[in-house]
């Protein structure tokens, strides 16, 4: 279950729409790992923290235990730099840009 609620907020509530989909994907993998290993640092290895500078499984397990959400400040700046670049043909007056496919993917995760 990916909806741990803390004080009326979801574990991910401050991250959605503020970090990249790739970062969310890494966090979901760490979340699933956290459910299995808990706060045991020796089993975690903290590779997500070391490699991606994202909260690792043992950190997420601690958040679950303490009923706190993941804070945006705990995510490296690299993952916050979202760019939606779309070249528009100058001859076309209105571009058809949609983020619905991305939204559907996020709803599957959360």
Domain ranges (residues) in the chain: 9-79+98-109
What integer is the mean pLDDT of 66-82? 88
The answer, yes or no, to whether residue 42 has pLDDT greater than 50, is yes
DSSP per residue, 56-68: -HHHHHHHHHTT-
Higher-pLDDT residue of 63 and 2 is 63
Higher-pLDDT residue of 4 and 20 is 20
Higher-pLDDT residue of 33 and 98 is 33
The answer, yes or no, to whether residue 13 has pLDDT greater than 50, is yes
Residue 85, judged by CB atoms within 10 A of its CB (0-12, 13-18, 19+), counts as exposed
What integer is the mean pLDDT of 43-49? 94
Give pTM, 2 decimals: 0.67
Confidence (pLDDT) at 8:
47
- pLDDT (tens digit, 9 = 90+) per residue, 59-69? 999 999 988 88
């Amino acid at each position: 279950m990916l909806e741990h609620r803390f004080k009326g907020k979801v574990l991910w509530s401050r991250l959605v729409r503020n970090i990249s989909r790739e970062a969310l994907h890494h966090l979901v993998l760490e979340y699933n790992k956290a459910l299995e290993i808990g706060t045991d640092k020796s089993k975690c290895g903290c590779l997500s923290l070391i490699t991606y500078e994202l909260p690792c499984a043992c950190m997420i397990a601690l958040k679950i235990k303490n009923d706190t959400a993941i804070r945006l400040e705990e995510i490296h700046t690299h993952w916050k730099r979202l760019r939606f670049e779309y070249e528009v043909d100058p001859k076309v007056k209105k571009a058809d840009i949609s983020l619905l496919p991305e939204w559907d993917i996020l709803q599957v995760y959360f």
